[in-house]
Copies of this chain bind each other. A is one copy, B any other.
Amino acid sequence: MSYGLTIKNRTPDELRQLASERRELAHPKQRRTKALLLSEARLLEHYADLRSWVERTRPDDSGDDLLGERSTIQSAPPSEPHDLAPFLTTLSLRMALPVADQHALLTAAQLPRRLAKGESVIAEGEHLSAFLLLCSGAAHAVRTLENGGEQVSAFYVSGDALNPGDLALGRSRTSIRTLTPAIVIAVSIRELGTLMERRPAIARGLWRETAFQAAIQREWLAGLGRKSAEARLAHFLCEVACRLQIGGQDGETFELPLTQRELADILGLSCVHVNRVLQQLRHRKLIDLDRGLLTIRNREALYRTAEFDPAYLKILEPPHSREEADGSR
């Protein structure tokens, strides 16, 4: 709290300064403390980036509209460790928000929240009070059954909205948990409501994001219902690779912060079987997975065994893109 008030008054550069101090401090410490400090540094940097971005784009507010979407990405600050890119990609591409609306949305957001690994972002059945955007890290939505079994219904990476659909309905039957330390931005539902009244693009954006995630769910349905364990696993890996790539990250080699147990709950398998199928894929030289680092060795073949077609992840131009940003007045 008081911490929040403090950093809110700093300039982005001051924030970056604070961040690097923490990084230096972190060096000699033990693992635990080190991780904490680093995570704090990341949070500060992220916030700094965000503030810079908002300040930089403020002038354009109701100005350029047509080139808005493209120019967004290029104007993102080239900050190394903590990239805003995936995040802005989602806003501008998937949600098709003009810069002015991105700006409005981010300005309305509360301070980024830092979450530890395994923390629960939304509990099952909880009353929803804010729109959540995952800025860094990974998370998943879990549904727990009476017999103790769990089924994951969504996997989120940086840039994804955590609960666009539940927000429209007011509650959720899944609980959302982080899989890594994560940074989340929240826009309270009240703010969002007033925003949407003035900025129809934001409502449409939430609709698009909801639809996007529903499309992914449909693929999962097809997999769970009709595909072999191997195909399901391969498909999931393809999907994550693609989504990361679209977010601007490396799609060949990346962190996959999931235990085999968690993979099993995504794929509807037992963790023992996940293990065996993973090895199958390794032996066939399609992938490598070691200590959470996944490498795709033969994308072609992986796509084929997964029956994967990335089309559903690529977004078409919004149906009516001759949009006016219609100011904030």
Contact = CB atoms under 8 A, between A and B. Distances in A.
A268 B169 CA distance: 27
Complex copy number for this chain: 2
Interface stretch (A69-77, A179-187, A197-205, A286-294): A197-205
Interface string A214-252: 110111111011110000000000000000000000000
Contact of A211 (B145, B164, B267): B164
Q: Would you list the 5 A-B pairs with minimal beta carbon distance, nearest first?
A: A225-B268, A170-B316, A165-B211, A207-B207, A224-B224
Contact of A226 (B193, B268, B317): B268
A258 interface: no
Contacts of A224: 221, 224-225, 268
Interface stretch (A18-26, A55-63, A82-90, A146-154): A146-154
Nearest to A217: B217
Contacts of A193: 319-320
A145 B207 contact: no
B208 A169 contact: yes
Contacts of A141: 218
Interface stretch (A29-37, A107-115, A277-285, A307-315): A307-315
Contacts of A307: 145-146
A192 to B, nearest CB: 9
Interface residues of A, number: 57
Given A146-B307, A220-B221, A200 B210 contact: no
A226 B214 CA distance: 20
A173 interface: yes
A174 B218 contact: yes
A190 B219 CA distance: 28
A189 interface: yes
A72 to B, nearest CB: 20
Given A200-B200, A204-B196, A225-B224, A215 B320 contact: no
B173 A312 contact: yes
A267 B193 CA distance: 38
Contacts of A207: 168, 203, 206-207, 210
A213 interface: yes
A166 interface: yes
Most buried by B among A197, A200, A208, A221: A221
B170 A319 contact: yes
Interface string A155-168: 00000000011111
Contacts of A143: 218, 221-222
A171 interface: yes
Nearest to A165: B211
Contacts of A315: 169-170
A254 interface: no
A203 to B, nearest CB: 5
B196 A226 contact: no
Given A169-B316, A210-B214, A220-B221, 7 more contacts: A145-B227, A146-B307, A170-B316, A196-B204, A206-B207, A217-B218, A225-B268
A153 to B, nearest CB: 5
A53 interface: no
